[in-house]
Structure 1
Amino acid sequence: MVQAPIQVLVVDDSAFMRRVITDFINEEPDMRVVDVARNAAQALEKIKRRQPDVVTLDVELPDMNGLEVLRRVMAEHPVPVIMLSGLTRKGTQAAIEAMSLGAVDFVTKPSGTISLDLYKVKEELKAKIRAAHRVSVRMPALDGLHPVPWTPSEDAALAGVHRKKIVCIGTSTGGPRSLQAVVPRLPKALSAPVLIVQHMPPVFTASLAERLNQLSEVTVREAVNGEVLRDGTVYIAPGGRHMRVRKVGRALALEISDGPPIRGLKPCFDLLLESLAEIGEQDIVATVMTGMGNDGAEGLSAIKRTCRVHAIAESEETSVIFGMPRAAIETGLVDEVLPLEKIAPAIVKQICS
């Protein structure tokens, strides 16, 4: 049976941008633009009337901020939304906030609000529309989330003298919102560093770290080359850079590098886990959350051979995209498959034990 084309609504205040985005989408046989909107009022009316499969939504609109439009859409007529934003600080912060409000993903306009070179992200936009179409829009409640109580056992306190515990989290599409449901629940006294690989372009990871830091008791920062790992600190791999761990004397430090992408990914979660496997003899809580592809599956196999590992995968019921967790589960090495709201307590339990 022939699949019906993905129905896309394009929202942008620039007639030029609406035309360019429409032309990109209509090049493909499996997607088509069913309508366009030049402002928030039109967008809200046409989403209700047209019921598109996917919406592309510009952050900057003349009558209402794109984020407010997104809030209204998610409250009134939930639909997969891809945000378009600039590479300015304001644009990156808006994109991160959009993820927390329920947007599936974002695409950056290469040269501002009206990008004559939007063709540079044409294939990325089309790939993300296809991915968004497979998404069941879920809005897990993020209000009222409190840090998990910190109650380490006596055995854990004694073991901590001899073994270093490390938390590793890998995620991609849908990750910023999922991280917002996990990181702020980690207690300040967490006796382990947390290393996060979120597939994201340069610049955006700094805004992600800043937002999570504002919401959390633990310290959250974008990782810096040479930094020694400290308990109760969350390190996010910089977008467009790889993150590894290396031994420096008796300590562990971060190595941020500019090597080639691995299977198209930079940063790559497999690479982080494999660097820990090379060091060996660590206690690792490895968590694979929502995302496309299979990043983390090979790395999980590597650390299971040389480290003590408790592996957690996000369940399909809360994953925006169940690709990465599914691949991890299929290795047969995952110890727990959990919905998003149970991941932080499970991480804390393992560090406390």
Structure 2
Amino acid sequence: MSAVRVLVVDDSALMRRHLVQLLENEKGLEVQSARNGEEALTLIEQFDPHVVTLDVNMPQMDGITCLARIMVGSPRPVIMVSSITESGAEATLQALSLGALDYVQKPGGTISLSLEQVADELIRKIRMAVKSGRRTARGALSSARPLAASRPTAAAASDVPTRLPRPIARAAPEDPPGLVLIGVSTGGPLSLEQILPALPAQLPWPVIVAQHMPRSFTGVFARRLDKLCPLRVSEVATQTDMLPGNIYIARGDSDVLVVRRAGRLFLTAVPASETHAWHPSVTRMVESAAEHVPAERLLCVQLTGMGDDGAEAMATLKRQGARTIAQDEDSCAVFGMPHELIRRGGATAVLPTHAIAGQIARWLNTASLRRAG
């Protein structure tokens, strides 16, 4: 198999050298580097990299401008390399909305030691980017299938894990009429920025989102979404009421749970579970909701991302009466999480990004909001 070509773009000579050395030590990678966005655009024509790692802050042409030019002229997977500051988070989220596939944070401290901390993550994301290269964010926007063409695919019975049945959840009169639960990872910011602003302001159920993202990003992301959405968007950092007309973003590097205290339901942020691989954990969010809310009053949405976080929990709820949506392959940056839900027979509907908000609104307008006795 031919080598994977990677272009490293960073204005720091020291950072470029360490990144190039780190990647050249990895078998099967061919690496070149550029000092700024203008050099990067020239090298993209000459070197034709499979993947670009792109610094945010650079002279002459910054990373955001360069990314926009890449996505228009020669779209390919781009991984942003950004600082952990609030301004770095804001710029990275802007990059993700423009079509960057993913990002890696620059830790503080000595460059060589810092890069060792993120080496495995960067290499893993480069490998993932190569596999998903044909579905750049630009392509995802333009290749969504018509609504009628998407249908759930049933999994073979032998593929569906079995679990002991859970006790049936009961609702209290003070509970919200239902909950919308959204799980998402790689490629999520772009998908969420298309779906959440399209939800109606009068949505009768609260929306809870577990987006795999570090703590330094989720507060910035919630504020960004709040400016875009007719619904109010906030980060869950402490015990929080769940109100209709609100979207709740799980705090990064922790997990969000639905809990009942003094007879009422709340959301709360808890330390990340060591037994779960991804955080905020979609599985823990969904399973905690299932403990307190009847399945028919839960609507689960599994969006783009690597792995299977939340797939089995959502599939279990679907078998108990919940409605579920899996994002379709063509509109995903990475089809892993939705594919795992579909494979388990857990998708009521498989839809492109642009059709998901409308389906949620239609189901909630027609769903029975009866209180469970």
Shared fold per TM-score greater than 0.5:
yes
Distance 2:240 2:174 in 1: 21
Equivalence for 1:208: 221
Which residue of the other structure, out of 207, 217, 222, is the alignment partner of 1:194?
Answer: 207
**What does residue 15 of structure 2 align with?**
17
Structure-to-structure mapping, 1:282-301, within 5 angstroms: 282=295, 283-301=297-315
Task: Give the secondary-structure state (helix, strand or coil) at the position aligned to 1:260.
Answer: coil
> Secondary structure in 2 aligned to 1:344?
helix
Letter in 1 for 2:29: M
8 A Cα contact 1:276 1:303, kept in partner: no
**Aligned ranges 1:177-256 → 2 under 5 Å:** 177-256=190-269
> Per-residue deviation at 1:119?
1.3
In structure 1, the partner of 2:168 is none
Distance 1:163 1:223 in 2: 17
How far is the alpha carbon of 1:32 from its aligned partner?
2.3
Deviation at 1:298, TM superposition (A): 2.0
How far apart are residue 271 of structure 1 and its match? 0.6
**Alpha-carbon distance between aligned partners in 2 of 1:215 and 1:162, rounded to the nearest angstrom:** 27
- 1:333 maps to 346
- The number of equivalent residue pairs is 332
1:10/1:55 contact within 8 Å kept: yes
Partner SS state of residue 197, structure 1? strand
Q: Residues 49-82 of structure 1, C-alpha deviation per residue, up to 9 Å, x if partnerless?
A: 2110000000011112210110111011101000
The whole-number CA distance in structure 1 between the counterparts of 2:110 and 2:75 is 25
Instruction: Give the distance between the partners of 2:212 and 2:8, measured in 1 at CA.
Output: 25
Say which of 308, 325, 336 aligns to 1:323.
336
CA distance in 2, matches of 1:264, 1:238: 16
Structure 1 351/115 Cα, relative in aligned 2: closer, same or farther at 3 Å?
A: farther
Residue of structure 1 in register with 2:57 after alignment: 60
1:313 aligned to which of 323, 326, 329: 326
Between the aligned partners of 2:3 and 2:86, the Cα distance in structure 1 is 35
Distance in structure 1 (CA, Å) of the matches to 2:54 and 2:100: 9
Please name the residue that 1:29 is paired with.
27
Gaps of 5+ in 2: 143-172, 367-373
| Aligned-partner residue type, residue 65 of structure 2 | E
SS of corresponding position for 2:21: helix
Deviations 1:108-162 (A, max 9, x none): 10017967522111111101101111122132559xxxxxxxxxxxxxxxxx999
In structure 1, list runs of 5 or more residues that go unmatched. 143-159
Q: Do the aligned partners of 1:246 and 1:254 also contact (CA within 8 Å) in 2?
A: yes
* Structure 1 contact 277–305 (Cα < 8 Å) conserved: no
Equivalent in the alignment of 1:83 = 80
Superposition deviation, residue 222 in structure 1: 0.7
2:16 partner letter: R
**What corresponds to 1:38 in structure 2?**
35
* Alpha-carbon separation, structure 2, partners of 1:104 and 1:270: 23
Alignment of 1:91-240 (within 5 A): 91-111=88-108, 117-135=114-132, 136-139=135-138, 164-240=177-253
Q: Distance in 2 between matches of 1:207 and 1:47?
A: 31
Check conservation: 1:178, 1:340, Cα contact below 8 A.
yes
Contact residue 324 and residue 346 of structure 2 kept, 8 A: yes
Match of 1:157 in 2: none
Does structure 1 conserve the Cα–Cα contact (< 8 Å) formed by 2:318 and 2:348? no
> 1:36 Cα shift?
0.8
The 2-side partners of 1:299 and 1:198 are apart by 16
Work out the CA distance in 2 between the residues paired with 1:204 and 1:258. Answer: 17
Q: Is the 8 A contact 1:87 1:112 kept in 2?
A: no
State whether structure 2 residue 2 is matched by structure 1 residue 4: yes
Whether the 8 Å contact between 1:86 and 1:113 is mirrored in structure 2 is no
Q: Is the 8 A contact 2:316 2:346 kept in 1?
A: no
Q: How far does residue 201 in structure 1 lie from its aligned partner after superposition?
A: 1.2
Q: Give, in angstroms, the shift of residue 310 of structure 1.
A: 0.5
Cα distance in 1 between the residues matched to 2:53 and 2:182: 29
CA contact (8 A) 1:172 1:292 kept: yes
Instruction: Look up the equivalent residue of 1:289 and give its one-letter code.
Output: L
Q: Secondary structure at the match of 2:181?
A: strand
Q: SS at 2:129's partner residue?
A: helix
Identity of aligned residues (%): 39
What's 1:148 paired with?
none
Three-state SS of the structure 1 residue aligned to 2:279 is: coil
CA shift in 2, pair 1:162/1:90, >3 Å: closer
Match of 2:67 in 1: 70
Shift in Å, 1:227: 0.6
How far apart are the structure 1 equivalents of 2:115 and 2:96? 22
1:350 counterpart = 2:355: no
* 3-state SS of paired residue (1:169): strand
CA-to-aligned-CA distance 1:83-110 (integer Å, 9 cap, x gap): 0110111101011111000000000100
* C-alpha separation in 2, matches of 1:350 and 1:261: 35
In 2: Cα distance, 1:47 partner to 1:318 partner: 25
1:5–1:32 Cα contact (<8 Å) kept = yes
